[in-house]
Each structure stands twice: as C-alpha cells, then as structure tokens.
Amino acid sequence: MAFLHKAAKSNSCHMKSLDTYALSELKLIYSILHSQILEKPDLMDSDLMHDLQTFLQSGASKDGVDVSDHGAWDIWLSQ
C-alpha cells in the first residue's frame, strides 16, 4: 500500500495520458474491471472506467470494429 501511495503522490501532477500505455495493458485492465461489474456495480459509474472504455472503443473503431457488436468488441479486446 505504501508503494501505491508514494507513486500516486509523486505522479499526481504528471499523470500520463492513456495513449502512452501499451494497448494490450489497457485491454487487460479494462477486461478485468469489466468482469467485476456485477460484483462491484459502482464501476459502471466510474469516470476512469468510462474514459478507458471510450478510449478503447475509439481505437477499435479505427481498426474497423463495430463496437455495438458485442462479439466483435470482445474479440478485439482479446487480441
């Protein structure tokens, strides 16, 4: 816990934008968070979850994925 607190404190003024992270890492984090929505319904109202989903959906759309097609979205997330 102390590590997370120190990291958050030192980076609070210089947070990296989502596009600086590896896409595979963002997909993994999103998938893990999304899998917990039934257990933690507050995730649905999370600004971070919304921003991450919007960012990823934008990338998927640029790759030609119809993000309203849940099957296509799931496949893209797993690649």
Give me 55's structure tokens: 């960012």
Which DSSP string corresponds to 5-72? HHHHHHHTTSPPPGGGS-HHHHHHHHHHHHHTTTT-GGGGG-HHHHHHHHHHHHHHHHTT--TTSHHH
- Please give the average per-residue pLDDT across 32-37, as a whole number: 95
Per-domain residue ranges for the chain? 22-78
Q: Identify the CA nearest to 76 among candidates 18, 36, 24.
A: 24
In degrees rounded to 5, what are phi and psi of residue 65?
-90, 135
Assign 14 a pLDDT band (cuts: 50, 70, 90).
Answer: confident
User: Could you read off the pLDDT of 38-75 as tens digits, one per residue?
Assistant: 999 999 999 999 999 999 999 999 999 999 999 999 99
What average pLDDT does the chain have?
A: 89
Confidence check: pLDDT of 6 > 60: no
Quote the pLDDT of residue 10. Answer: 53
Put simply, whether the predicted model's pTM sits higher than 0.85 gets the answer no
